Amino acid sequence: KPEIRDNTKFLKGVTGIGKLDIIWRTAMGERGRLQTSQLERMAPGYGDVRLTVEAIPSIVALEEPFSIVLKVLNSCERTMDLMLSFDGHQSGRPLLWEGVSGRQLGKIQPHSSIDVSLRAIPLCTGLQSISGLRLRDTFLQRNYDY
């Protein structure tokens, strides 16, 4: 939804969960109170980089290449230089990625995104999950596996 894509708080997966309010009485009967500011929770797996599928065919032919368009979102406050690679340990996985592993995606400005087109070959029939992708932040040397 456009209204969600424009709000970086939603893109980071941050949810307001309320305030913590502690009230007590001392031994002399005086009241005490402690209240926090609004507490927020970040959904697991979002972190600094978010990867979403933008376009994928609903039906593909076995052992025939098909295209996938992914959106890579930089949700942190600094420019990121990312590299895309494919997991080398793919035995038993239903998809074989086509192309060069270790491809530089370039610099992505804070709170902006780029679209990446990939090709894959299905090796098994049935409903499959997309896996075996790794984004590497070349500055912090941090990996994000999808």
Where do the structural domains in the chain lie, given as residue ranges? 15-40, 49-145
Domain 49-145 - what CATH class?
Answer: mainly beta
Q: Which residues, 6+ apart, have CB-to-CB distance to 9 below 8 Å?
A: none
pLDDT of residue 117: 92
Quote the pTM value.
0.63
- CA gap 132, 71 in Å, rounded: 16
Query: In 24-33, which positions are buried (b, 16+ CB within 10 angstroms) versus exposed (e)?
Result: eeeeeeeeee
pLDDT of residue 116: 92
pLDDT of residue 14: 67
- List of the chain residues with pLDDT < 70: 1-14, 42-46, 88-92
pLDDT of residue 124: 86
CA atoms within 13 A on the CB side of 83: 14
pLDDT of residue 26: 92
pLDDT of residue 111: 84
